[in-house]
Structures are given as structure tokens and as C-alpha cells.
Amino acid sequence: MLATYLIGLREGLEAGLVVGILVAYLGKLGRRDLLGRLWAGIGLAIAVALGVGAALTWGPYAMTFQAQEILGGTLSIVAVAMVTWMTFWMGSHGATLSKELRSSMDAAIDRSWFAIVLLGALSVGREGIETALFVWANAAGGAEPLYATLGAVLGILTAVVISWGISRGLVRFNLGRFFTWTGLFLIFVAAGVLAYGVGDLQEASVIPGWGAPAYSLTGLVPPGSWYGTVLAGIFNFTPEPTWAQVFAWVGYVAVTVPLYLLMLRRRGRARAAAAAAKTTTAEASAPPEPAALEPTPVDTH
């Protein structure tokens, strides 16, 4: 539930920021008459996300066991790819997000009314589909479906409240730090989903090695224990993974975490350089200090 709450909160905040920027920009342009088209696109995106969630929940029941496992494994890997891309994209484009959205809105206004609907749908639809896929993959990997869905809904509702508070100036929230730490947390959640997806493909005989665990941690984490249930619900932990699952988890973390930390380091250096350049420019444009007057010696004779 915690994992799906965080994904709902993170994706909801991203969508809330996008909507807030677009709505505020239309207001600044004096084109509030276009808000209806923008909201129509946002509503369309929400409907598509709900449709994807419903299809993932109810669609596989008409399939054979092997087909269900292949679908589940494939979609889990797709969910990991989307969440990973989202994490890195937000980390590298967060600073220029507002500028990019304003440029997209200018282009949409110049084209047609449908372009504004499409912009609203695409801007929010990505987060909606990512949320649907990741929540489904998390629930399929061992989390209780009801709790997983409830966690995502609570996360989205929390994001709505925070986004509204930010837009009204009632909430001061360090979004950069939030996205940084949740991004790192979600990398480990995604690693568990990836391992689960590999296990599904092994059960379907697409990848060999199912039924031969690499090791067993049942002595440390007994099946049915409360902490085993928590680990399975958040990180898709399994006490007896196969070698393919171990390699997938370790390989993903070993590649993704260093790249993520490197991106954060470069972003920090870029901000420091920009701040230093701004300070230098301000100092260069400042008027010179008036020269101090030397005291005139007084002749006492």
C-alpha cells in the first residue's frame, strides 16, 4: 500500500503541476475561454487511464494461464521501463518544465482547438497510464489488490490537495527534494516489479529456470509473516527467487542507481554554476562603491 500510495502521490503531483502551469498560463494570456478545451483533454486522459486499469484487472481472466503469465510479465517490464523513464525525465527536465509547457501551449493555440484538447490529454495521460500499469504490477506481484488500489487513490487525493494548496499559496513544499527521494525509493520498487515480471515469464516457459531457486530466505522471512507480507507488498520481495530474478534485480539496481546519483550530481553542479554566474553578473552590474575620503591632516601649529 505504501508503494502504490507514493506512486499515486508522485504521479498526482506531476499531473497537478502540469495542469497548474497550463491553467495559470492561459489566465496570464487572457484566454480563459480555452480552459474548457484543456479540461476536456484532461478528462479524456483520466478516462483512458481508468480504462487501462479496468482492462488490466478484468481482461486476463478470459486467457489461458500461460497467456496470463506472458501478459503479466510483459506488462510488468513495460511498467518498470515507464517508471524508470519518468524518474529520469523528471530529474533532468524539472527545471525547464514550465517553459516547455508554455511553449507547447503557444503552439497549440496557433494550430487548432483540438490541439489544446490533445495537449491536455497527453500532458496528464502519461502519468495516468503509468499509475495504472505500476499499481496493477504491484498488486499482481503480491500486494493485496484492494489495498494497492486504495493506496494509489489516497496518494492521488493527497496530491490534489497539495497541488491546490500550492496554487493558492497555502502550502510551501520542497518539490525538488520530494521527487529526488521518491525517485530513489521507486527504483527499488521497480526492481522488485522487474523481478516479478521475469518470474512470470519463467512460469510461462518463455525464460528457463523456474522452480530452481537461487537461495532460500524462508528461515529469516517465513512465508505468511507480517514483515514478509510488508516486503512483498512494497518491494515484491520473494524469499526464494530464481537466478534469473536475482540477476534482473541486481542488474537493474546496479545500473540505475549509479546513473540516478550521477544525474543528481550533475544537476547540483549545474545549479551551483548558474547561481555563481548570477551572482557574478549582479556584482558586475552593481554601481561602484564611492571612494573613501582620506582625512585631511590638521595643522596644529
Q: 259 or 48: which carries more pLDDT confidence?
A: 259
- pLDDT mean across residues, the chain: 81
- Sorted by where each begins, the domain ranges of the chain are 2-274
Q: Looking at residue 120, what is its pLDDT? A: 84
pLDDT at 238 over 50: yes
pLDDT bucket at 298, cuts 50 / 70 / 90: very low
> 39, exposed or middle or buried, with CB in 10 Å at 0-12, 13-18, 19+?
middle
> 154, exposed or middle or buried, with CB in 10 Å at 0-12, 13-18, 19+?
middle
Q: Looking at residue 104, what is its pLDDT? A: 85
Percent of the chain residues past pLDDT 90, beyond the cut: 14
pLDDT at 292 over 90: no
- Rounded to the nearest angstrom, the gap between the alpha carbon of residue 12 and the centroid of all alpha carbons in its chain is 9
pLDDT at 9 over 50: yes
pLDDT bucket at 246, cuts 50 / 70 / 90: very high
User: d(Cα 190, Cα 196) in Å, to the nearest integer?
Assistant: 10
> 64, exposed or middle or buried, with CB in 10 Å at 0-12, 13-18, 19+?
exposed
Which residue carries 518498470 as its cell? Answer: 80
Q: 259 or 272: which carries more pLDDT confidence?
A: 259
User: Worst-scoring range by mean pLDDT, 171-175, 276-280, 281-285?
Assistant: 281-285
Q: Looking at residue 294, what is its pLDDT? A: 47
